[in-house]
């Protein structure tokens, strides 16, 4: 977030720039203009929102994704990663939407005058709830759901796909896979992100320019053509690579640390007689085979199936 937020601020400014009278000529010009007017501070406005919310968002994302994927009937198929990613995207939207609403309002606080100076995301959301009700605090939720279902299914499918191209992925390869997954994910949902930002930057209540997601997309297209849906894409893609390289790498590293502690292996037993007993039962009892396979999923050395797939191919269902 510390590295990525300035580029996120540039994105939000470009997405909400006035097309008739544009302030910014491009990514770099926008960055320079913000710094010239508002110092480095301008780039970091609103950072408190993702700093305090991204932990919860990512625990929902990776928790839901991992569990849905492992519990599906074909855990190793790309299809199961696709479904698990979609459900994770949906699940995190309910936290992500208000978090990004506060972020957007704070990032644009020098542009939109709400008549009040917010001290942080909670203050901002409280104010919105007080003046507009709880619905106001969830402004942009529909757009967030539409964005993050394709956003996170493409995220996990592409990561998994890239990781499978290499027998034993090393550190640079893993970082590259995460970075590319981030880029693929944003390419898959970018037009919807533009609409989401417009919705969240829009005034509330009677002063609102747009009545909803479709209205905003339609008006944007009529006003600017297809270009409307791609404003700010450059800064998003530049940000996505380091951000998601770090994210995937840290998740699999932490999961490795947990798994190496060996706690999960206890229930398998460690004497050869126990193993022999298991093997005998597998031969005679098919339902046990299913059980063993799911046990293997649990003790696999990393969170991501690609690694289970590479490390212990012979233990897999196929």
Spatial distance between the Cα atoms of 53 and 64, rounded to a whole number of angstroms: 17
Q: What contacts 106, CB < 8 A, 6 or more positions away?
A: 45, 46, 48, 49, 118, 120, 121, 124
Spatial distance between the Cα atoms of 268 and 274, rounded to a whole number of angstroms: 8
Nearest-CA neighbor of 97 among 43, 51, 148? 148
Nearest-CA neighbor of 50 among 129, 13, 123, 104? 104
Asked if residue 151 binds ligand ARG (CB under 6 A), the reply is yes
In the complex, minimum distance from the CB of residue 258 to ligand ARG, in angstroms, rounded to a whole number:
22
Interface segment toward ligand ARG; rule CB under 6 A; list 23-31, 184-192, 254-262, 273-281: 184-192
Spatial distance between the Cα atoms of 4 and 235, rounded to a whole number of angstroms: 10
Asked if residue 155 binds ligand ARG (CB under 6 A), the reply is yes
Closest CB to ligand ARG among 185 and 297?
A: 185
Asked if residue 185 binds ligand ARG (CB under 6 A), the reply is yes
Cα angle 211, 120, 15 (rounded to 5 degrees) comes to 45
Interface segment toward ligand ARG; rule CB under 6 A; list 39-47, 166-174, 180-188, 304-312: 180-188
Contact 268, 299 (CB under 8 A): yes
The only residue of 243, 255, 300, 308 in contact with ligand ARG, by rule CB under 6 A: 243
Interaction residues for ligand ARG, span 188-217 (CB under 6 A):
189
The only residue of 75, 182, 220, 232 in contact with ligand ARG, by rule CB under 6 A: 182
Interaction residues for ligand ARG, span 222-241 (CB under 6 A):
240
Instruction: Kindly state the number of chain residues that form the binding site for ligand ARG, as judged by CB under 6 A.
Output: 12
Asked if residue 152 binds ligand ARG (CB under 6 A), the reply is yes
Helix, strand or coil, per DSSP, at residue 77: coil
Closest CB to ligand ARG among 43 and 300?
A: 43
Closest-CB residue for ligand ARG? 151
What the block records as the tokens of 256 is 């490795």
Q: How far out from the chain centre does Cα 215 lie?
A: 26
Which residues contact ligand ARG by CB under 6 A?
Answer: 147-148, 151-152, 155, 182, 185-186, 189, 240, 243-244
């Amino acid at each position: 977030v510390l590295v990525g937020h300035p580029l996120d601020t540039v994105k939000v400014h470009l997405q909400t720039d006035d097309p008739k009278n544009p302030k910014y000529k491009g990514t770099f010009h926008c960055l320079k203009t913000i710094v010239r007017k508002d110092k480095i501070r301008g780039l970091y406005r609103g950072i408190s929102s993702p700093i305090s919310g991204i932990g919860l968002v990512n625990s929902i994302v990776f928790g839901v994704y991992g569990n849905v994927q492992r519990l599906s009937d074909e855990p190793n198929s790309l299809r199961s990663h696709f479904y698990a990613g979609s459900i994770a995207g949906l699940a995190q939207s309910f936290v992500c939407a208000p978090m990004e609403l506060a972020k957007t309002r704070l990032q644009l606080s020098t542009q939109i005058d709400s008549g009040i100076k917010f001290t942080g995301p909670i203050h901002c959301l409280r104010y919105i709830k007080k003046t507009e009700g709880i619905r106001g605090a969830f402004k942009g939720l529909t757009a967030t759901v539409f964005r993050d279902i394709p956003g996170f299914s493409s995220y996990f499918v592409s990561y998994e796909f890239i990781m499978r191209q290499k027998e034993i992925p090393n550190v640079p390869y893993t970082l590259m896979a995460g970075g590319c997954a981030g880029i693929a994910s944003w390419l898959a949902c970018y037009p919807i992100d533009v609409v989401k930002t417009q919705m969240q930057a829009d005034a509330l209540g009677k002063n609102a320019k747009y009545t909803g997601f479709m209205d905003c997309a339609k008006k944007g297209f009529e006003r600017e053509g297809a270009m409307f849906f791609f404003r700010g894409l450059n800064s998003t893609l530049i940000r996505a690579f380091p951000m998601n390289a770090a994210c995937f790498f840290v998740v699999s590293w932490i999961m490795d640390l947990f798994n190496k502690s060996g706690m999960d292996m206890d229930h398998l037993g460690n004497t050869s007689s126990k193993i022999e007993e298991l093997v005998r039962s597998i031969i005679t009892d098919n339902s046990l085979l299913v059980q063993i396979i799911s046990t293997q999923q649990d003790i696999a050395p990393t969170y991501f199936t690609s690694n289970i797939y590479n490390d212990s191919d012979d233990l897999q269902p196929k």
